[in-house]
Amino acid sequence: MTSPQPLNPPPPQIPQPTYEWHLPDRVWDLRRPRLMAIVNVTPDSFYDGGRYQGLDAALARAEQALEQGADLLDIGGESTRPGAPAVDSDEECRRVLPVLELLARRFSVPLSIDTLKPSVAEKAIQSGACIVNDVTGLEHPDMGALVARTGVSVVLMHMRGTPATMQQHTHYQDLMAEVTGELELRLNAALRLGIPRGRIALDPGIGFAKTAADNLVLLRRLGMLHCLGCPLLVGASRKSFLGKLFGFAPEDRLEGSLAAAAAAVMAGAGIVRVHDVEATRRLIDVTAGIRDASERVTG
Ligand code: HH2
């Protein structure tokens, strides 16, 4: 007798997600997706620039994000929006280090440092960061060595060029194959440096060297990246594709950001990076419930 087929088997062509991420002091089960709250202490970030500058404002933002259900806080001191001016490392440190020190004293949640500079990342780790979120995917040779040496966890994001030039590098023959292949190169370089696979999360880089339409494809086909065997992080919050394709100004992009988060979680993203914590927390918990619901047959 043949055993009955399950009613809702996973689509055969989609590899299984990796729902475990190792941080230095804990292991996260990502079937309940984790929420990374953005805390940009910059004057010029495209959405929250200028809002959380100063220790009091950054602390209030962190407190509120944690109350609303954030699982980790991502501290950034340099905007990576297309064409943003570069910030020197002294200035970036001046922005992020006091905030990291304060948040590390106050809270026990993991803190990540959003930087592409090894000198900033090193001081940030000393100040309490346990994750390096590098939009260049450890392009700087010292960054990978730093992550390997210190034992922190890392987010490797896909991008081409630099934030200043990335929108000149949006030509793909096969978007998903090329993003997957380029992320795999970054992943393999990190593994060769001795960074354990379990500590690495991968990110397709929504808005980084992508056309607006590419970002929709990345969200729809995100599941393809599970073949790389790492948890996936997605950051689509309030990004400009929602304006270019649908006409929404940054302050009117909440629902579009939620739609993107839902698509990402349905496709198996384990971490979602957002500005709007409360609404996204509610949204992703329900979305993950739908994603993992199993059918019940009686009688
Ligand atoms: N997006 C931004 C910055 N850092 N990191 C990861 N891993 N993934 C992302 O998609 C990502 C990121 C850009 O968004 P934001 O920080 O809100 O703006 P700005 O770069 O202007 O500070």
pLDDT of residue 8: 67
- Residue 31 DSSP one-character state: T
Please identify which of the residues 117, 239, 253, 281 carries the catalytic annotation.
Answer: 239
Pair 287, 50: CB distance under 8 Å: no
Comparing 64-68, 161-165, 174-178, the range with the smallest average pLDDT is 161-165
Tell the residue nearest (CA) to atom 9 of ligand 1.
235
pLDDT of residue 83: 79
Query: Distance from the CA of 235 to the center of ligand 1, in angstroms?
Result: 7
Q: Average model confidence (pLDDT) for the chain?
A: 94
Pair 66, 109: CB distance under 8 Å: yes
Q: What is the pTM of this model?
A: 0.94
Question: What atom in ligand 1 is closest to the CA of residue 207?
Answer: 10
Instruction: Determine if ligand 1 sits within 6 Å of the CB of residue 235.
Output: yes
Residues 6 or more apart in contact with residue 36 via CB below 8 angstroms: 70, 71, 72, 73, 74, 112, 233, 235, 271, 272, 273, 274
Pair 112, 132: CB distance under 8 Å: yes
pLDDT of residue 9: 63
pLDDT of residue 162: 87
Please give the distance of CA 105 from its chain centroid, rounded to a whole number: 24
Enclosing H/E stretch for 278: helix 277-291
Instruction: Determine if ligand 1 sits within 6 Å of the CB of residue 206.
Output: yes
Please give the distance of CA 253 from its chain centroid, rounded to a whole number: 18
pLDDT tens by residue, 193-238: 999 999 999 999 999 999 999 999 999 999 999 999 999 999 999 9
* Rounded Cα distance, 217 and 207, in Å: 12
Instruction: Determine if ligand 1 sits within 6 Å of the CB of residue 79.
Output: yes
pLDDT tens by residue, 131-150: 999 999 999 999 999 999 99
Catalytic annotation present for 244:
no
Q: Find the mean pLDDT for residues 252-275.
A: 98
